[in-house]
Amino acid sequence: MSRSKGFTTKADLKSEYQRKLVSADEAVKVVKSGDKVHLGGFGGICRDLEAALARRVDELEDVTLYSTLWSLPGTYKTLEADKTGKHFKLFSTHMSKKDRVINKRGQAWFVPILFHEGNKNYRENYNLNVAFIMTGPIDKHGNFNLGITNAESKGILDNADIVILEANRAMPRCHGIDQMINISQVDYVVDANYPLPELPIREPKPEEAKIAEYILPLIEDGSCLQLGIGAIPNHLGELINQTDLGNFSVHTEMLVDSFVDMYEAGKITGNKSRDKGKMVYTFALGTKKLYDFLDDNPICCSGPVDYVNDMDVIGSIDKMVSVNACLQIDLYGQVNAESIGPLHISGTGGMLDFVEGAFMSRGGKSIICTPSTKILKDGTRESLILPFMQPGSIVSCPRASVMYLVTEYGIAYMKGKSTWERAEEIINLAHPDYRDDLIKAAEKQGIWRESSKLI
């Protein structure tokens, strides 16, 4: 179905909306066997449309589903309905716990991507047949607001043959760049009304709290902050609120609850060198408190990921501070945020975008953190500081890009350091029980200062 390239006039608005308004079951009739279908991403996964598609499971074969971070309430109806693996398969650009389960069944695969490339990739490389996009309800001008998920939405819209909006009345109306879709740009609209997914705030473990305490002195008055999801950034926000620090700005991939807490504590002024006065983000995911804060709030500015995660944009902001978590670090300073060996855990995301961008920033700091160990299911302890990455592991951030590394045992600065200096710094971040073995490994690998005798 072809879509209009012009905007709908006010006189024609009501009739066009009524013509395109259908039920979810009616809308998904456009999906054919062999099609590529995008279900939406992050907190904007279209639950009613996906459930309707699941009800067609016996009519369809070899349908490829695209999404990002799918492990949210109300999703996975399609793959739960497919008991044979012949009807639906999933390609995900950021895998979740449920994705990993489906992967073991041979129905889900990861799509490597640098997040800032998302819109370009969808416009040029995916050839989508159908796209489901969640928005808010239509306004008096015929526009639908993308709400909490801007990110790659416009690239998906531009690429798909058929676009179906799931207009959720619970979606906050968010201000921003490229934040609207006009009725003329879509083929069908489905009315929806269900709560947005919420991510509970987890209390930090003792080692996570200690990591946040180490990071705190690296943050200066007037910094612009990017914080990821999880207990460490949330606790860091709490610690910031207990200090005299302030005059912060926000330019972040993901907007989370800790930013709301800092804003309400008077810590955020938006006094930055770019997009002054705006809390810039590309998607939001958190609790209802966050979504209520976003609703019709002109201080918040949602933008497409090719702007928000652009390294040059990030680098143009003075005193940019980026905080991201990872899974493993090796003695070379390589960072793995995606897999444990060949077992894929999450995705590349925007870590490298912000690691590079923050280093380019005048006075900027890029911080990557992880606890030094983890406890396995059998109760044994395993070091997350490794001699080298396990076979099959993914290097999410190359050693040359890393600036600061932090565990509960301290901070290591990597820039300008030789391989043996880096190894020495990283060994000091490891749990004491593993340091002797790491020293021996470094000597064997020829990266310890005594290794000249071995080369």
Give the domain extent around 132. Answer: 19-192
pLDDT at 38 over 90: yes
281 Cβ partners below 8 Å, 6+ apart? Answer: 250, 251, 252, 253, 254, 255, 300, 301, 302, 303, 308
pTM: 0.94
* Per-residue pLDDT, 43: 92
- Same domain for 109 and 257? no
Provide the sign of the torsion angle of the four alpha carbons 412, 414, 417, 418, taken in this order: positive
CB 59 within 8 A of CB 32: no
Let me know whether 422 and 399 are in one domain: yes
d(CA 294, CA 298): 8
Which runs of consecutive H residues, i.e. helices, occur in 106-246?
A: 118-124, 153-159, 206-215, 231-241
- Give me the mean pLDDT over the 147-166 stretch: 96
Of the residues 166, 253, 356, 425, only one is catalytic, namely: 253
Same domain, 61 and 94: yes
- Kindly report, residue by residue over 135-155, the tens digit of the pLDDT: 999 999 999 999 999 999 999
> Are 212 and 182 within one domain?
no
State how many domains the chain has.
Answer: 2
The most confident of the ranges 63-72, 74-83, 89-98, 423-432 is: 423-432
Alpha-carbon span 67 to 79, nearest angstrom: 13
**Position 9 in a domain:** no
Tell whether 14 is covered by a domain: no
CATH of the domain at 410: 3.40.1080.20
Q: What is the CATH number of the domain that holds 108?
A: 3.40.1080.10
Residue 417 lies in a domain: yes
Same domain, 275 and 392: yes
Kindly state the percentage of the chain with pLDDT values over 90: 80
437 and 341 part of one domain: yes
Give domain status of residue 339, yes or no.
yes
- Does 253 qualify as catalytic in the annotation? yes
My answer on whether 180 and 280 are in the same domain is: no
What pLDDT band is residue 106 in, cutting at 50, 70 and 90? confident
Q: Which of 140, 167, 192 is the last residue of a domain?
A: 192
Last residue of a domain, one of 148, 168, 192: 192
